[in-house]
Amino acid sequence: MIPRARAVLFVVALLLAAAGCGLAAPGGSDEQARVTILGPWTDNQEKQFKDVLNGLGIPYTYQGTAATREVLLAEVQAGNPPDIAILPGVGELVEYAAEGRLQSLRGLYEPGEYGKPWQPEAQGIADDLWVPLKADLKSIVWYRKDRPPPSYPAPLTSWCIGMGDDGSSGWPGSDWIEDLILQTAGPVLYERWATGAINWVDAPVLNAWTRWAGLLAQDPAAAERALLFDHRGSPGGHGLLFGGGCDLEHQGSFARSFYGDRKESAAFTDSASLLPGGPAMKGREVSADFAALFGRSDQARDLLRRLTSRKAQEEWGRKAGVFSPNSAVHAKNGAVEKRISARLTDHHVPLCLDASDVMPAAVRDAFYEAVLLTIAHPGDPVRERLEAIQKVQDAQPKDAQPKDAQPKDAQPKDAQPKDAQPEDTPRLTRVCSRPQ
């Protein structure tokens, strides 16, 4: 099955699952069946998501946690998965799909309103097992409107960098590597790297990693301080951009929510010219939170159908300022929101899903660990770290069938694509769009 997380993470996941971790069960009596939902949103984001769920008219129980991957693993192993799971990426979902745990979403949404990369292709499994609910634009840099950015690569002292997170520390650094690979090597090689078709020590990856390490090496002490900062800034503050003594922040569109009442003073630009080496922009990195159906009830299917509707997506965007990957849904708020929404649905520039979000969990974790080690020791050779990640990637299962027993509710063999062969390794093969 999915590569097991460290023992500590697994124990934490069990505790989180047992504690309920943000449970909410609005409407209806205790006897009514409720659709169980596991998602990544907590605190204010959880409240905003519940506001949307409350308008759907279906009783539910929502469990919000930053450790969605670990909690889901614990609940699946306990034989009690949620009806609907929402994960930041599809790396784990591919493996659950290979085990036959996911139900088809056919007929629940209009595929034509999404397209690539929001419907990534995979070999060895069906192509209708997940749907993106919320999207974010990456490959951008935030700055304060009263301090416009330069038109050339910025030094380390200009950047706001924080690696801390409630879930997996290190991922903000992986965004730098991914963006550099995309802008220097282009979307085709980026896609091959993200899906495991080229090695970590190959030139496109080594070049990008070396550039980033060179930036950090400008001031090793300042780089190491990034290990102490949360990527969101101080609790109750205005994010790193307005409270970190820096001018530029390489983060996705979600970063605007960290700025609080100063968000109107923030603007963004494409990242390429500001990155080490100043490459030309060849594409845009994006991310999404994907929903998958573990339960078989009509009630769960109906809730997901309503949640993916244009009405619900627009309401969520209006109330919470989130963005939909659905081309039929357009932001109706301010100028910044409209610019982000336009880029997320722009088919003239290649869009590529966040690479770490589509990698197997063990490879992703090794990626994050190498990022943290590079920040701590930017002068050390980067090749050794890439070789360590490659060993983890090479150790991933090569067979399509899981080593443990198939679950009782596994999909029948005829539910798999006709061209899928037993020897096929379940993996994503297409995570970038092609310009039209």
Cα(179)–Cα(164) distance, integer angstroms? 19
Predicted confidence at residue 131, as pLDDT, reads: 96
Cα(413)–Cα(398) distance, integer angstroms? 19
Question: Is residue 345 pLDDT above 50, yes or no?
Answer: yes
Predicted confidence at residue 81, as pLDDT, reads: 97
Predicted confidence at residue 398, as pLDDT, reads: 67
Predicted confidence at residue 328, as pLDDT, reads: 87
Question: Is residue 207 pLDDT above 60, yes or no?
Answer: yes
| Model confidence pLDDT, tens digit, residues 425-435 | 778 899 999 88
* Average pLDDT estimate for 203-221: 96
Question: Is residue 386 pLDDT above 90, yes or no?
Answer: yes
The structural domains of the chain, with segments of one domain joined by +, span 7-136+287-338, 140-282+361-392
Question: Is residue 191 pLDDT above 90, yes or no?
Answer: yes
Q: Does 161 or 400 have the greater pLDDT score?
A: 161
CATH number assigned to the domain with residue range 7-136+287-338, chosen from the 4 options 3.40.50.970, 3.40.190.10, 3.30.1330.80, 1.10.10.10? 3.40.190.10
Question: Is residue 118 pLDDT above 60, yes or no?
Answer: yes
Q: Does 243 or 384 have the greater pLDDT score?
A: 384
Q: Percent of the chain, pLDDT > 90?
A: 68
Whole-number average pLDDT of the chain: 86
Question: Is residue 413 pLDDT above 50, yes or no?
Answer: no
- Could you check whether 7-136+287-338 and 140-282+361-392 share the same CATH topology? yes
Place of tokens 């097992």: 129
Cα(270)–Cα(305) distance, integer angstroms? 34
Question: Is residue 152 pLDDT above 70, yes or no?
Answer: yes
Predicted confidence at residue 31, as pLDDT, reads: 60
140-282+361-392: CATH superfamily: Periplasmic binding protein-like II (3.40.190.10)
Question: Is residue 299 pLDDT above 70, yes or no?
Answer: yes
Question: Is residue 399 pLDDT above 80, yes or no?
Answer: no
* Average pLDDT estimate for 46-53: 96
